[in-house]
């Protein structure tokens, strides 16, 4: 009788150890419920369709921007352009990581910062560069000397970081190359490495992350912009101004670093990773700029660039060159002017913005109408025409035509300009918030 009781208990225990034993399809047990919190500084852009392209009677314009209905999935977008202070966090992270690599474990804890302003742990901890230089032990000081300008290059003896050393190595996966199933490498090499070697689709690049502060001078001949070159990127007065002098590759590197930085923290907190930050596609940018107002010429809607009080609605070049009449003689803080109906600031004017797309005059003809996207990874020896990347939104130095939501133009990916910045997006996990 006791044996029979043990058998029944054993069967009961086995039947309770998951749905698999019941013969029913119940899915994997214990999966957590998922809710995606909005990343700090971003706004949710709902999915939808819109008429992308020109919406006026500018005949020459229609050759490079034809109208077509495009559908866009839900995503998050920075509510403003990336600021000097936000980009500086990236620069400082690269600087500190290089110093840690040089010093290894030799840094005295007294000279490290272990938490941020929110009392959250920093991993790795930051080096406190603001402390007097005497904090370094002789061997540490000697080891870090390679990060500073050599004495013969110093201006009035100032011991400054050599920004030419601030290189960042980053990686990304070429999904389009992988989808072709014909990687762009030699066939013999593919056979040697094996057909299942996915590393051939992992791309690597090294980029210097410091902005080109001389862009203010080389962009404008016979114009006194030296004060901006001297102070614009590093001085606290310009912390909330958009970062400029950043190439397309630097903007992409920032997005990849931001993704790693964000998801590493989530992993350490035991939270699932989310989609990566990236540059917006051209269709995402225009959809967000319109703010849900289809066929609108400007982000605020309507055909006019002044409000009912006669004030300009964006920072651009009005009235044949009266730069200051709109309130800004060059760039202005990123939260200037009124946001559009999605809550996004400066989608017209201030600085033009990099997108992820390559520029082709006829891309509207052949690109898909679902999440329209045209990319080309230009090689170093490619002709300049293949290194064109789409920029949108117009800038402080552009006339009103360029701040229209549908105006598209380009700049070369390896150039840094005083009138081009960027903002990031992140794809939403799921159909959209309205479907939760």
Task: Please write down the HEC assignment for all residues of the chain.
Answer: CHHHHHHHHHHHHHHCCCHHHHCCCCCCCCCCCCCCCCCCCEEEECCEEEEECCCCCCCHHHHCCCCEEEEECCEEEECCCCEHHHHHHHHHHHHHHHHHHHHCCCCCHHHEEEECCCCCEEEEEEECCCCCHHHCCHHHHHHHHHHECCHHHCCCCCCCECHHHCEEEEEEECHHHHHHCCCCCCHHHHHHHCCCCHHHHEEEEEEECCCCCCHHHHCCCCCCCHHHHHHCCCCHHHCCCECCCCCHHHHHHHHHHHHHHHHHHHHHCCCCCCCCEECCCHHHHHHHHHCCCCCCCCCCCCCCCECCCCCECCECCCCCCCHHHHCCCCCCCCCCCCCCCCCCCCCCECCEEEEEEECCCCHHHHCCCECCCCCCCCCCCCCHHHHEEEEECCCCCCCHHHHCCCCEEEEECCCCCCCEECCCEEECCCCCHHHC
> How high is the pLDDT of residue 194?
56
pLDDT at 140: 65
Using pLDDT thresholds of 50, 70 and 90, give the confidence band for residue 119: low
Q: What is the pLDDT of residue 183?
A: 56
Residue that wins the pLDDT comparison between 34 and 232: 232
Residue 38 has pLDDT above 80, yes or no: yes
Mean pLDDT rounded to a whole number for the chain: 85
User: For position 105, what pLDDT does the model report?
Assistant: 55
154 or 186: which leads in pLDDT: 154
Residues 316-331: pLDDT tens digits?
999 888 999 999 999 9
pLDDT of 1 over the 90 cut: no
Provide, rounded to the nearest whole percent, the portion of the chain with pLDDT above 70.
80
Q: Which residues contact 242 (CB under 8 A, 6 or more apart)?
A: 80, 81, 82, 83, 84, 331, 334, 346, 350, 351, 421
Position 81 scores a pLDDT of 98
Residue 18, pLDDT score: 47
pLDDT band, very low/low/confident/very high, at 181 (cuts 50, 70, 90): low
According to the model, what pLDDT value does residue 19 have? Answer: 46
Measured from the Cβ of residue 284, the count of other Cβ atoms closer than 10 Å reads 25
User: Residue 45 contacts by C-beta under 8 Å, 6 or more apart in sequence?
Assistant: 72, 74, 75, 76, 77, 284, 287, 288, 342, 425
pLDDT at 211 over 90: yes
For the segment 332-338, the average pLDDT, to the nearest whole number, is 96
Lowest mean pLDDT, pick from 46-50, 143-147, 178-182, 224-228: 178-182
43-83+279-436 maps to CATH 3.90.1580.10: yes
Q: What is the mean pLDDT of residues 149-160?
A: 89
Please provide the size of the chain in residues.
Answer: 436
Q: What are phi and psi of 396, to 5 degrees?
A: -60, -20
Which range among 21-35, 182-196, 414-428 shows the weakest confidence by mean pLDDT?
Answer: 182-196
The better pLDDT of the pair 375, 140 is held by 375
Per residue in 287-313, pLDDT tens? 999 999 988 899 998 889 999 898 999
Of the chain, the percentage scoring pLDDT greater than 90 comes to: 56
pLDDT tens, 354-368? 999 999 988 988 999
The residue among 109 and 314 whose pLDDT is bigger is 314
pLDDT digits (tens, 9 = 90+) for 371-426: 999 999 998 899 999 999 999 999 999 999 999 999 999 999 999 999 999 999 99
Q: So where are the chain's domains?
A: 43-83+279-436
CA–CA dist 339, 175 (Å, integer): 35
Reported confidence tier of residue 22, pLDDT bands at 50, 70, 90: confident
Position 186 scores a pLDDT of 56
Cis peptide before 428 (omega within 30 of 0): no
What is the predicted pLDDT for the residue at 133? 43
């Amino acid at each position: 009788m006791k044996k029979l009781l043990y058998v029944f208990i054993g069967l009961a225990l086995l039947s309770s150890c998951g749905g698999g034993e019941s013969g029913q399809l119940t899915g994997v047990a214990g999966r957590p419920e998922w809710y995606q919190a909005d990343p700090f500084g971003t706004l949710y852009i709902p999915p939808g369709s819109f008429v992308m392209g020109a919406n006026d009677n500018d005949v020459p314009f229609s050759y490079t921007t034809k109208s077509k209905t495009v559908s866009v999935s839900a995503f998050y977008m920075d509510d403003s352009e990336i600021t000097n202070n936000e980009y500086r966090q990236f620069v400082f992270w690269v600087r500190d990581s290089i110093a840690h690599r040089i010093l290894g474990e030799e840094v005295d804890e007294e000279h490290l910062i272990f938490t941020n302003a929110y009392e959250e742990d920093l991993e790795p901890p930051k080096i406190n560069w603001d402390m007097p230089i005497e904090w370094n032990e002789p061997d540490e000081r000697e080891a870090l000397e390679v990060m500073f300008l050599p004495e013969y290059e110093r201006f009035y003896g100032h011991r400054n970081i050599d920004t030419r050393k601030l290189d960042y190595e980053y990686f990304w996966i070429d999904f389009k190359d992988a989808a072709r199933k014909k990687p762009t490498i030699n066939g013999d090499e593919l056979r040697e490495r094996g057909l299942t070697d996915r590393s051939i689709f992992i791309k690597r690049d090294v980029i210097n992350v410091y902005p080109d502060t001389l862009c203010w001078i080389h962009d404008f001949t016979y114009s006194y912009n030296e004060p901006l070159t001297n102070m614009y990127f590093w001085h606290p007065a310009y912390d909330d101004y958009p970062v400029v002098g950043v190439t397309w590759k630097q903007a992409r590197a920032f997005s990849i670093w931001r993704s790693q930085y964000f998801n590493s923290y989530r992993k350490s907190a035991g939270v699932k990773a989310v989609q990566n930050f990236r540059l917006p596609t051209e269709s995402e940018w225009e959809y967000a700029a319109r703010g849900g107002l289809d066929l609108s010429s400007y982000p605020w809607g309507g055909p006019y660039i002044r409000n009912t009080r006669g004030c300009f609605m964006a920072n651009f070049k009005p009235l044949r060159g009266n730069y200051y009449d709109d309130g800004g003689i060059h760039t202005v803080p990123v939260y200037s002017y009124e946001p559009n109906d999605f809550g996004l600031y400066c989608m017209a004017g201030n600085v033009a913005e990099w997108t992820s797309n390559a520029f082709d005059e006829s891309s509207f003809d052949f690109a898909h109408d679902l999440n329209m996207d045209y990319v080309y990874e230009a090689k170093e020896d490619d002709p300049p025409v293949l290194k064109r990347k789409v920029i949108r939104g117009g800038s402080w130095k552009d006339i009103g035509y360029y701040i229209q939501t549908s105006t598209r133009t380009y700049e070369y990916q390896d150039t840094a300009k005083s009138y081009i910045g960027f903002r990031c997006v992140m794809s939403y996990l799921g159909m959209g918030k309205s479907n939760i």
